[in-house]
Amino acid sequence: MAELNLKQIIDRLNAEFTGETRKLVFWYDDKAEFAEDMEAVELQNAKIYHLQPDNQFYTKYFLERLDKTTNYLIYAPFPKPDVRDNHLEDTMLYSRRFFADRASLLSVDLGIEEKYKPVIEKHIKFFANKERTQRFYDLEIENFNEENILVGLLSAVCKARTCSFEEVVRIVLTDGELVDNAFLQEFEKYDLLPAFWQLCEQHFGYTDTKPSLERLLVTLFVTYTGRYVQAELPAAWKSFVSYKSGNIIAFLDSLMNSVLYRDKYDALSAHVAKGLNVLSAFAGMRVDDLVECDTFLAVDQVLVKWLIGRLVSEDIGAIVNGFTISELCEKRAKMHFGRKTGKTYQMLSSAYSMVKEADYHAADGLKPIIDRYLAADYNMDQQYRKFYYYYDQLESTESFEPLRELVENIYTNEYLACLLPAWNAGIQQDAAFSAIPLQREFYNTNLRYTKERTVVIISDAMRYEVGQELFARMQDDPKCTAKLSVQLSVLPSYTRLGMAALLPHRTLEMTDDFQVLVDGILCDNLAGRQQVLQSYNPDSVCVQFDDIKNLKVAELRDVLTKRQIIYVYHNQIDARGDKANTEDEVFHACEEAVQEIVDLIHRISVSGNTYHFIVTADHGFIYKRDKLTESDKISGKSADKAFVNRRFIVSKATLEDDGIDHMSMGRILGNEDSKVVSYPVSSNVFKVAGGGANYVHGGSSPQEMLVPVMEFKMERGHMETKNAEIALVSIVHKITNLITSMDFIQSDAVSDTVKAAKYRIFFLSEDNEKISNENSYVADSREENAQKRIFRMRFTFKNKKYDKDKQYYLVVYDEKSGLEQWRQPVVMDIAFADDFGFGF
């Protein structure tokens, strides 16, 4: 800003030399602040005479003898000499003095009142640099006072974009080191360090005989923790508790909730936690007292350890501060450290769902078994899959091993061991094959009479529970109408036979050398399947998912154009599960399969002018994590000219033994085939050479034979949707306490037209100063009962003086868009507030 200041000087000097009378003006620039600038200055009605300490006598002679008519500015880049040493003293008696110190000029230019000029003068060294001075100007501070001048100087040193002490502290803590901090060194250079520490006391209540960033940081974190931990803090921590907790909570909330700074917050939190040995301190507290605390990752470490203990003890009724285990997992996963602990809590929640069903009893009869499986039991398979999906993503699993063993035992020895024998007893009933639609009737049921172009996606090994997840995902799409049903697969439930059953046919047979024929055509590859399909519908085609997933729009349309039925073969789950070296990745493959199909449907509906989709599978699968023992294998079972697989044996002769059942292929395929398929009645397998036995299919179980059939109809036009909104339930016009709780409601339940949204909620002044902590809320409730969509938020306000005549607001921001949703004016009528002065 030197340019602007110099212009002011020139304007003022030109004003001094108006009129007809000759004028002399003396300017003693004590600190030579403008010496460089004055070399290039030209005045309108005067010349500049550069006075030197050793040319005073000549100057007197020059001004009073040699040139007695010209106006002169006598510029001296040094202090005025004492009277006895000043040869120009008598000349000055009939001349004028000019004062232009930088502090005065800055004050005038910025609009700073005269009473605050001493603040500028004290820190005038700061303004010696043009770039630094410009940063101060760029803050665009209005209504200067003692405090915001100092905060502005600190902000400019830190290169902050706004005049905010909280931002200064944020930069100091997150962009600098705690020891030998470069910003503090700069503060000291410009005599700002005492002001920084005084402002720390004013804003955060931090004071110390020898203040340090380390102790300031501990004060912030301990004070924040004290507000959310319901137990008494350790004695060694108490000296760090500040009386300005509201300001501290608002400050740390802004750090942890910021996408830009949350990683820095985590690093600072870890530093403090290590120094205070937080994990040890929290380990001695009741978990109920820790539930609301989000200051340190150690809280989650303590809670997770407690949850493991409850689950391993099968204490499913445990309540923590009013939360069930699943509710606690959901709550903590949404809190700040959920980015790091979310997978752990998801895993624990899945374990909880399984432990709840530990005492499993199967229904009696195939139809009741199927009905209960579709309504509830599929969730056991889904939660088992989810458990390992998240378990496999953890960096360390040692502490979860007892829980994993329990989950494995419940799934294998209680759930599967009970369900599968009951299923296999029921499937022998005469009415078994009329209980639900059969896979071999798929084409006639779903496609024979269709008049619109239909894409059929056949995902190899997508069992029912995976299909249910895909269905739920598509249900959330506002442009999709979704329907989920089920069909009974063929037996043996393996790829060649299942894929053939999904084709149109008059005859479906397995030859004596175990080839699968559809209407006499071998169809174990894409060409054979397309030949069969086109014999029933010439405007049809069979394609591999991998061949079309990356096609350009024009190429994709070429595949679909003039086609009525398109069979798309998708192989993600079976491709990974069927290989010994990747079978443990099968649950990850399930997640990827769901996403790939969702993406394909959306892409085709948008780019391919096709809106009707059916998704199904050839068969399902069983997967168990623990390696099979010899007792899990049925050995010594084979027959002449038999088709032997781990989960089935097809042969002419029936295999008779304990734990083995059988069924005629003629009954399964609806023909006169006399061959027999034999299969274990449990989850055991036949002993077969080769690797890979944890992922299996081909046998008789709900997991292998209940195949999902999903129908998705995509809207051609755009369906209007909106975010789930939140509204204030509490009638609040005045805030009278530093801590205030308010009730809100999610206005509508999440549905196909109401989408989940995340909101930031806090209080602002009319000057846009944040005066409270910031709460986050995910509006994702599907509860139809409005009372169950009410939630409570607690706000802690800054401990400061509030002006009753000013406007303050409760504001709600959409986190995704960053846009304000609404604001509610309130009056701040908080009795206590303390003043602050720097004593200048």
**What residue ranges define each of the domains in the chain, with the CATH number in brackets?**
2-100 (no CATH), 105-276 (no CATH), 300-426 (no CATH), 436-627+695-714 (3.40.720), 722-828 (2.60.40.2550)
Q: What is the widest separation between alpha-carbon atoms in the chain?
A: 138
Cβ pair 264, 174 in contact under 8 A: yes
Sheet order of strands, 649-651 included: 643-644, 649-651, 676-680, 660-664
State the Cα–Cα distance between residues 808 and 800, nearest whole angstrom.
Answer: 14
Mean pLDDT of 777-800: 90
For range 390-400, the mean pLDDT:
96
Structure tokens at 437: 């639609």
The confidence score (pLDDT) of residue 4 equals: 46
Q: Residue 507 has which token pair?
A: 């005859």
What confidence category does residue 160 fall into, taking pLDDT thresholds of 50, 70 and 90? Answer: confident
Give the tens place of pLDDT for each residue, 692-733. 789 999 999 999 999 999 999 998 865 567 899 998 876 667
The answer on pLDDT for 397 being more than 70 is yes
| Residue 182: predicted pLDDT | 95
Alpha-carbon distance of 283 to 296, in angstroms, equals 13
Q: What is the pLDDT of residues 503-549, one digit of tens each?
A: 999 999 999 999 999 999 999 999 999 999 999 999 999 999 999 99
What's the pLDDT band for 2 if we cut at 50, 70, 90?
A: very low
Query: What pLDDT, on a 0 to 100 scale, did the predictor assign at position 637?
Result: 67
**Residue 309: which residues within 8 A CB-CB, separation 6 or more?**
none
- Dihedral Cα 428, 429, 434, 436, nearest 10 deg: -70
> What pLDDT does residue 831 have?
65
Strand partners, 746: 726
Give this prediction's pTM.
0.80
| pLDDT band of 1, cuts 50, 70, 90 | very low
pLDDT of 308: 98
pLDDT of residue 839: 36
Looking at every residue in the chain, the average pLDDT score rounds to: 91
Position 838 pLDDT exceeds 50: no
Q: What are the tens digits of pLDDT across the range 170-190?
A: 999 999 899 999 999 999 999
For 93-106, the pLDDT digits (tens) are 999 888 777 787 78
Sign of the C-alpha dihedral computed for residues 394, 399, 405 and 407 taken in this order = negative
List, as one string, the DSSP characters of 250-278. Answer: HHHHHHHT-TTTHHHHHHHHHHHHHHHTH
Burial class from Cβ neighbours inside 10 Å (0-12, 13-18, 19+) for residue 48 reads middle
Alpha-carbon distance of 342 to 332, in angstroms, equals 8
Looking at residue 438, its pLDDT comes to 97
Q: 754 pLDDT band (50/70/90 cuts)?
A: confident
The DSSP code sequence of 454-496 is EEEEEETT--HHHHHHHHHHHHT-TTEEEEEEEEEPPSSB-HH
pLDDT tens sequence across 644-685? 999 999 999 888 888 999 999 999 999 999 999 999 999 999
- On the question of pLDDT at 833 being above 50, the answer is no
Separation of first and last alpha carbons in the chain:
25
pLDDT in tens, 582-640: 999 999 999 999 999 999 999 999 888 899 999 999 999 999 999 888 888 887 666 67
In contact, 132 and 126? CB cutoff 8 Å: yes
Across 824-835, average pLDDT: 70
Q: Which residue has the higher pLDDT, 332 or 254?
A: 332
- Only one residue has tokens 């299919």, namely 697
Strands (E), 280-423: 319-320, 323-324
